[in-house]
Amino acid sequence: MDPDRLAGTLMAAGGILGLAGTISTLFPFSVLGVLSFALVLVFAVLVYRKRPEARLVATATLWFAPLGGAACAIELWFNRNGWFYVALWDLQAAIGLVGMGVALAGVLVGRGICI
């Protein structure tokens, strides 16, 4: 399989998982996660289509995927230490963190770094 296609597929899967983990909560930091993972998803389409700017947007994914993951980590922390506990937010934040990892794996594959 072509490394660019595999990288785009992994980045898209990470963006979708990240969106699934952040889009349905009413937590204030979920806005940061939604915007970050939406950009990762757009970047994945550009990488998959082998656009000339694919290397640049793959590098941008190295910034936006952890930014969305940080929103999920903050959500986990506040959910555990806040005034109330919502078990569904733990699951959603964990899915968002997995999405961040998959998106970053896609960037590494696209750069030729073996995982």
Query: Both tokens of residue 61?
Result: 């994914």
DSSP state of 51: -
1-28 tens-digit pLDDT = 788 889 899 999 999 999 998 887 666 7
In a domain, 18, yes or no: yes
Supply the range of the domain harboring residue 48.
3-110
The backbone torsions φ and ψ at residue 8, rounded to the nearest 5 degrees and listed phi first, read -65, -40
The residue to which tokens 């995927």 are assigned: 65
Domain tally, the chain = 1
50-102 tens-digit pLDDT = 888 888 888 888 899 999 999 888 888 888 887 777 788 888 889 999 999 99
In a domain, 115, yes or no: no
**pLDDT-above-70 percentage for the chain:** 96
Calculate the alpha carbon distances from 38 to 20, 34, 43, 85, 105 in Å.
Answer: 11, 6, 9, 27, 17
In a domain, 66, yes or no: yes
In a domain, 82, yes or no: yes
